[in-house]
Amino acid sequence: MKPLRVTSIIPSRTAGGIGPVCFFGADALARLTDWEVTLLSLHDPPTEETSGSGLRLVSLGLEREIPSRFLHWLRANPQDLVISSGVSHIEPAFPYLPEATRHLVQIHDCLRRYHQVAINNATNIDGVVCVAHHIESLLKQPLASTGFTGLLRTIHNGARFPPLESRNRHDGPLRLLFLGRTDAFKGVFDLPPLLKELRRIGVPATLSIVGPIDAYLMAQFAKAGVADQVDWKGVLPHEECFQQAAACELLLMPSRKEPFGMVTIEAMSMGCVPMGYDVVSGTTEIVRQGRTGILVPLGNLREWARQIRILDQDRARLEELSRNAIDDSRRRFDADRMGGELGILIEEVMRRERATLERRAPETFLEALPESPSKARGYQVVPPGIRASIRREIGKRPWLCNWILNRL
């Protein structure tokens, strides 16, 4: 029997979190199976190479006629199964994949527009894989209403962690860390008042920020009188982010709603204890309350500061949380675990009898396949400066922001 041919399709290997996560998954599949596994990037400059694990890395460099040119590639490189992740530009091609090719849609975000890809194509896909259970729960009823007969599964993301650095006991001021996009919806505007509250209750602490420098946020730290406690690192290479986590005690994750949280598992793997909000999100699926991290009520900065003070006064407890975080993240969220679960799902998809699919037109469609719509709508037509101001004002209000994100 020939080995399975499996391709994971992504927009780019470098943009956002999808590229790295899908690389980890595809790389693990290549190492753990005898399959022919390809990671296909649509928009990166054209190239083809093979990694040490046997993973085939292909980039098409597509800028126009993207759906048709992708299908030409697929017909020249037949696949038994493809996994598509955040590839909106080729969605018009989904109903026209070769009849023999199974198709899994992977959903990485909790916003409705990302779910809609699976719902719109429910009658011509073979399964949906979600990166978190709270995303799966949002899809169950809408998919059922379409007559979807494929598989719906959750497979948590995984990562390739670097060797663990020894963590020496630290008795000085607590070293806090924020790691990621300095975006209002990530809760960054909770950081200035949190530092101010810590100073008020007598907890010495410093905050390192790894992410794009934001002048408005810098001004908020100055206004709160805590700018002297902030060390802004800017954007760092991925490997240096792990080093920053290894040098800090607490990761602050004030996101209003987190689809998964790669930053969380990566910081935990280095012993940096996560603190986040206790709302339905990826954070609450990762963090085990009181064992691997601390969850506090949404927007309650006084409680957040109180919990930090407890850990400041009980460093043995903090070290226990750190050890637990390391063990839990490296066991539950390792890339090989993710790849193994993905492999099991693929085997199940390939064994299943397929329902009659409402699809797959003859090849004559190829030259006339339309581009995916890119017209800006609604909020996107608002000038960028005004959008940023709206986002800041909403993001400053945890409950409002969470309410809106649950309805988008």
Note the pLDDT tens digit of each residue in 11-64: 999 877 899 999 999 999 999 999 999 999 999 999 999 999 999 999 999 999
pLDDT of amino acid 388: 81
With a cut of 50, say whether residue 171 has pLDDT above it.
Answer: yes
Tell me the pLDDT tens digit for each residue of 128-154: 999 999 999 999 999 999 999 999 999
For the chain, percent of residues with pLDDT exceeding 90: 80
- Token pair 């797959």 is found at 360
Please state the pTM of the whole predicted model. 0.91
Q: Where are the beta strands (DSSP E) in 77-167?
A: 81-85, 102-107, 127-130, 151-154
The model's confidence at residue 377, banded by pLDDT at 50, 70 and 90, is: low
Distance set, CA 341 to CA 26, 83, 251, 273, 277 (Å): 12, 14, 28, 26, 28
pLDDT of amino acid 364: 46
Q: What distance in Å separates the CA atoms of residue 102 and residue 97, rounded to the nearest whole number?
A: 9
Tell me the pLDDT tens digit for each residue of 229-276: 999 999 999 899 999 999 999 999 999 999 999 999 999 999 999 999
* Residues sharing a CB contact under 8 Å with residue 79, sequence separation 6 or more, in sequence order: 5, 6, 7, 38, 101
pLDDT of amino acid 400: 87
pLDDT of amino acid 16: 72
Report long-range pairs for 21-25 (Cβ below 8 Å, ≥24 apart): 21/108, 21/131, 21/157, 21/158, 21/159, 21/262, 22/83, 22/85, 22/106, 24/157, 24/158, 24/159, 24/160, 24/335, 24/338, 24/339, 25/158, 25/335, 25/338, 25/339, 25/342
Tell me the pLDDT tens digit for each residue of 277-327: 999 999 999 999 999 999 999 999 999 999 999 999 999 999 999 999 999
The model's confidence at residue 373, banded by pLDDT at 50, 70 and 90, is: low
- Whole-number CA gyration radius for the chain: 23
- Across the chain, how many H-helices and E-strands are there? 14, 14
pLDDT of amino acid 376: 46
pLDDT of amino acid 386: 83
Check whether domain 5-160+334-368 has CATH 2.70.98.60, yes or no = no
pLDDT of amino acid 347: 96
Tell me the pLDDT tens digit for each residue of 73-127: 999 999 999 999 999 999 999 999 999 999 999 999 988 888 999 999 999 999 9
Instruction: Kindly report, as residue ranges, where domains of CATH 3.40.50.2000 are found in the chain.
Output: 5-160+334-368, 174-332
Which tokens sit at 165?
């650095």
Distance set, CA 395 to CA 176, 180, 257, 262, 403 (Å): 21, 16, 11, 21, 11
Q: What is the CATH number of domain 174-332?
A: 3.40.50.2000
With a cut of 80, say whether residue 367 has pLDDT above it.
Answer: no
pLDDT of amino acid 17: 83
With a cut of 70, say whether residue 372 has pLDDT above it.
Answer: no
- Token pair 């206790």 is found at 278
- CB contact burial 279-294 (16+ within 10 A = b; e otherwise): bbbbbbbbbeeeebbb
Q: What distance in Å separates the CA atoms of residue 389 and residue 383, rounded to the nearest whole number?
A: 10
With a cut of 60, say whether residue 379 has pLDDT above it.
Answer: no
Average pLDDT, integer, range 362-367: 51
Q: What is the mean pLDDT of the chain?
A: 91
Tell me the three state secondary structure of residue 128. strand
pLDDT of amino acid 375: 47
Distance set, CA 52 to CA 29, 251, 304, 400 (Å): 13, 33, 45, 47
